[in-house]
Amino acid sequence: MPKILYLITEDWFFVSHFMPMARTARNLGFDVAIAARLGDKAGRLAAEGFRPISLNTKRGSSGLFEALRSVIDTYRVVRAERPDIVHCIALRPVVLGGLAARLAGLRRLVLAPTGLGHLWTVDGVAARLLRAIVKRVVGRWLKGADTYYLFENRDDPVVFGLDPSSSNVFIVGGAGVAPEDFPYVPEPPAPPVRLAVVSRMIAPKGIAEAVAAVQMARKSGAQVELDLYGEPDLANALAIPTETLRAWSSAPGIGWHGRAEDVAGVWREHHIALFLTSYREGLPRAILEAAAAGRPIITTNMPGCRDLVRDGREGFLVEPGDIAAASRAIATLAGDASLRQEMGRNANLHFNEGFTESAVMPIVTNLYQTLGGLPNR
């Protein structure tokens, strides 16, 4: 039986986004192993018939020593497993896991940066230098006859000097969302018109901007309320302090509720999805789920976000940091139920055109079949 090894930072990230991909590999006949920092989701992976492997990673660290240690630890795993395909998910595992696989003599790589993340959010001399190194590693050093790239939008390949239309680049509409998990439902009664942000509570996700935009819309007379769902990501230097979230939640019309265990329930109870990210997303799952449920979306004109939301059709696009424009979009949708419903229908239709699990997984199947599963000998 051929073996595929997924390298990813956290087990919860794999469970929340990439289980359909692993099931696809299993259905193709692969022995599936998943190396990550293991937490309370390891049992869920094992219950699916996958083999969880402990990998001691630290997402928040960018130091040279930590990077070298991660390469060594990952090298030990890939050397012991000898998989036929190494599939690296997210930018850090792509760089460090890809290098470890090459050191172990493994040729067949799938490099899947799910967006460009924190490194493309910060600025400064050190960040620019590190970005240049990462571009060279991903786009040149790891490139080879048996290296394939999996991106969630057509902007990101260009960053690495890759042609989005080339035969070794595959583009998918996110990680794949099952429509039955987020059924299209009519919006709840209004007023008030309720907006929701579902996200990690980190600054680049536009949480502060969302709060400010809703407060501005309320001052203009819009009958709107905002609910924030998500936890601070303590491994991220830009996590929003809990004290700040609680302070926002004490203001009129704003509520922070922590992690949402039932995201489909969030969209049943809300009218509009708000996602004012300045983060270099791949294709945010949060807005895909909102689109599946038939909710209009106000988001930023960023890679990934603009792949799903076309301005004036599925919702509104605003520039990152433009709180006034976001406030105007909120007020427009809050005051026009028919427009909300039209954009919600458009969002659901666009989602079903290419962003569902059933649309994404055939592309993944084609990728694995193109790469092949012959033993690395």
pLDDT digit string, tens, across residues 161-185: 999 999 999 999 998 899 999 999 9
Same domain for 154 and 53, yes or no, is: yes
Looking at the whole model, is its pTM more than 0.85?
yes
pLDDT digits (tens, 9 = 90+) for 243-297: 999 999 999 999 999 999 999 999 999 999 999 999 888 999 999 999 999 999 9
Same domain for 259 and 309, yes or no, is: yes
Q: What are phi and psi of 220, to 5 degrees?
A: -80, -5
Domain that holds residue 203: 179-353
**What mean pLDDT do residues 103-125 have?**
89
337-354 and 285-292 helices cross at what angle (nearest 10)?
Answer: 110
Same domain for 230 and 331, yes or no, is: yes
Q: How far apart are CA 303 and CA 171, in angstroms?
A: 13
Residue 377 lies inside a defined structural domain of this protein: no
Residue 316 lies inside a defined structural domain of this protein: yes
Q: Which helix (H) or strand (E) holds 196?
A: strand 193-198
Residue 92 lies inside a defined structural domain of this protein: yes
Say yes or no to pLDDT of 376 above 80. no
Same domain for 235 and 171, yes or no, is: no
User: In this structure, what CATH number is given to the domain that contains residue 224?
Assistant: 3.40.50.2000
The proportion of the chain whose per-residue pLDDT surpasses 90, expressed as a percent, equals 85
Same domain for 267 and 189, yes or no, is: yes
Same domain for 206 and 308, yes or no, is: yes
Q: How far apart are CA 8 and CA 368, in angstroms?
A: 18
Q: What residue type is assigned to position 176 of the chain?
A: G
Q: What is the number of structural domains in the chain?
A: 2
Band of the pLDDT at 123, cuts 50, 70, 90? confident
Q: What local confidence, expressed as pLDDT, does residue 374 receive? A: 45
Same domain for 292 and 149, yes or no, is: no
Same domain for 189 and 127, yes or no, is: no
Same domain for 109 and 228, yes or no, is: no
pLDDT digits (tens, 9 = 90+) for 300-326: 999 999 999 999 999 999 999 999 999
**DSSP secondary structure code for residue 361 in this structure:** H
Residue 376 lies inside a defined structural domain of this protein: no
Q: How far apart are CA 75 and CA 79, in angstroms?
A: 6
Of residues 168 and 66, more confidently modeled = 168
Q: What local confidence, expressed as pLDDT, does residue 59 receive? A: 57
Cβ within 8 Å of residue 376, ≥6 positions away = 82, 83, 84, 105, 106, 107, 108
Mean pLDDT of the chain: 93
